[in-house]
Amino acid sequence: GVPLVVSEADLPMLAGIEVDYVRDGLNRMFRFRNPNAREICGCGESFAL
């Protein structure tokens, strides 16, 4: 596991979010899944709650 540090004030905005560490060929990245997102941009980089 990887520890994540989040301020207590921001914690409610992260409720329900799943964070995965993904290896795809030579790429390594964190993938965030947010079931609370209403809108997601086409590239997947931003969302609205």
Report the pLDDT value the prediction gives residue 44, as an integer from 0 to 100. Answer: 67
The tokens 């993904």 sit on which residue?
22
Query: What pLDDT, on the 0 to 100 scale, is given for residue 7?
Result: 94
| Each residue's pLDDT expressed in tens, for the chain with a length of 49 residues | 778 899 999 888 888 989 899 999 999 998 888 888 888 887 767 777 7
pLDDT at 25: 96
CA distances to 8, 11, 24 from 27, in Å: 31, 28, 5
